[in-house]
């Protein structure tokens, strides 16, 4: 059985902007991870304080608020695209912001299709690790993307390296599975979709 590198669930929060695109993404990633720890701790404390009777109501309230924000965000995007000189350029800018991208994914509003984002991640990975075997997508099932090496004679990148590349473009996925690569775990930047489902993962 091929090894699987899994992403941990991540909550979405804003992060301070940066003057450089790559440092900004790095800062956003770090901020998201740190805020996830805070959100997870606060949710656990709130659940313990509320008890089994009151907690479902609190959870329903959080879900309702998140859904309301998602509806508002969707309408803002519609207005922005209608007023933009180039809706395509606007979508690219939104998708390039890690925090905004995570929010759009949370509400199923991301402008770039998953298959295209996976292609982009693998293209960037091959540029960063040119001596490793290039990878191709086999399919996506149960939130896990399955990959295979295109060149069977070359060694594919480690699952950890692949996971980090996939996370940058498709943080909503639950994990990555690479045939022939050693297993590794990675901290993902997955939006808190569990809030929309009425529960935490």
> Which pLDDT tens digit goes with each residue over 46-59?
999 999 999 999 99
Rounded-to-integer distance, Cα 163 and Cα 36, Å: 19
More reliable by pLDDT, 103 or 77: 77
- 124 lies in a domain? yes
What SS3 state is found at 119? helix
Whether the predicted pLDDT of 13 surpasses 70: no
> Which pLDDT tens digit goes with each residue over 112-127?
889 999 998 999 899 9
> Residue 30 sits in which domain range?
4-195
What SS3 state is found at 98? helix
pLDDT of 50 reads 93
- 160 lies in a domain? yes
Whether the predicted pLDDT of 199 surpasses 50: no
> Which pLDDT tens digit goes with each residue over 72-84?
999 999 999 999 9
Whether the predicted pLDDT of 20 surpasses 60: no
- 44 lies in a domain? yes
Whether the predicted pLDDT of 18 surpasses 80: no
- 200 lies in a domain? no
Length of the chain: 201
Read off the pTM. 0.61
- 201 lies in a domain? no
Q: For 139, phi and psi rounded to 5 degrees? A: 170, 175
- 8 lies in a domain? yes
Please give the tally of structural domains in the chain.
1
- 74 lies in a domain? yes
Q: Where are the beta strands (DSSP E) in 45-143?
A: 135-141
Rounded-to-integer distance, Cα 47 and Cα 44, Å: 5
């Amino acid at each position: 059985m091929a090894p699987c590198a899994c992403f941990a669930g991540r909550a979405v929060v804003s992060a301070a902007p940066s003057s450089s695109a790559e440092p900004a993404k790095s800062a956003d990633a770090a901020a998201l991870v740190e805020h996830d720890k805070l959100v997870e701790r606060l949710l656990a404390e709130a659940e313990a304080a509320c008890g089994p009777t009151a907690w479902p109501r609190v959870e329903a309230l959080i879900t309702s608020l998140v859904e309301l924000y998602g509806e508002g965000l969707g309408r803002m995007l519609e207005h922005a695209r209608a007023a933009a000189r180039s809706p395509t350029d606007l979508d690219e800018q939104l998708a390039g912001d890690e925090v905004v991208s995570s929010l759009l994914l949370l509400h199923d509003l991301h402008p770039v299709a998953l298959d295209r984002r996976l292609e982009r991640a693998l293209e960037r990975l091959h540029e960063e690790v040119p001596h490793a075997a290039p990878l191709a997508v086999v399919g996506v099932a149960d939130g896990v993307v399955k990959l295979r090496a295109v060149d069977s004679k070359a060694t594919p990148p480690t699952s950890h390296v692949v996971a980090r590349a996939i996370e940058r473009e498709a943080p909503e996925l639950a994990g990555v599975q690479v045939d022939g690569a050693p297993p590794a775990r990675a901290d993902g930047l997955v939006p808190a979709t569990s809030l929309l489902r009425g529960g935490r993962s």
